[in-house]
Amino acid sequence: MTDSASQGSLPKPTLATRLPGVALAVLIVAVAYVARLVLWYAAAVCAG
């Protein structure tokens, strides 16, 4: 059986099965982006 054939026999992921992964990614993106924004903002407003 070829790779593509074996992949074809696998059940296609549904939205419900993808949701936890998507939610995890969204949470991590939000935290990471805000953390960098906060550090940048702190650097911009703190007088040296």
Partner 1 sequence: MNSYDGAVYYAAAAGLAHGLLPYRDFLFLHPPGIVVALVPFAALGRIIGDPYGMEAATLAWFGIGALNAVLVSRILRPLGVPAALVGGLFYAVFYPAVFIEHSTLLEAPAATLTLVALLLLSRAPTAAPIAPRVVLVAGALLGVSAGIKIWGVMVVVAVLGWTWITYGARRGLLLLAGAGVGATVVCLPFFAAAPGSMWRMVVIDQLSRPRSRLGLGQRLTDMVGLTTLDAGLVAVAVALAVAVAGCVLAVRSRQGRLAVVVLLASGALLLCTPPWFVHYAGLTAAPAAIMVGAAAGTLTGAARSIGTRGLIASLLVAGLAVVATPMLSAGFGRPFPAAPIAETAASLGGCVTTDDPTTLIQTNLLQRNLQRGCKLVVDLGGYSYDIHPGTVVPRSRNRPWQRFAIDYLRSGSGVIVMRFNRGFGFSAQSASVVRGWPVLLRAGQVVLRSPVRVDRGS
39 counts as binding partner 1 under rule CB under 8 A:
yes
45 counts as binding partner 1 under rule CB under 8 A:
yes
Cβ neighbours of residue 3 under 8 Å, at least 6 residues apart? none
8 counts as binding partner 1 under rule CB under 8 A:
no
Q: What is the CA radius of gyration of the chain?
A: 21
> In the complex with partner 1, which residue's Cβ is closer, 8 or 28?
28
Instruction: Give me the residues that bind partner 1 (CB under 8 A), please.
Output: 20-21, 24-25, 27-33, 35-40, 42-48
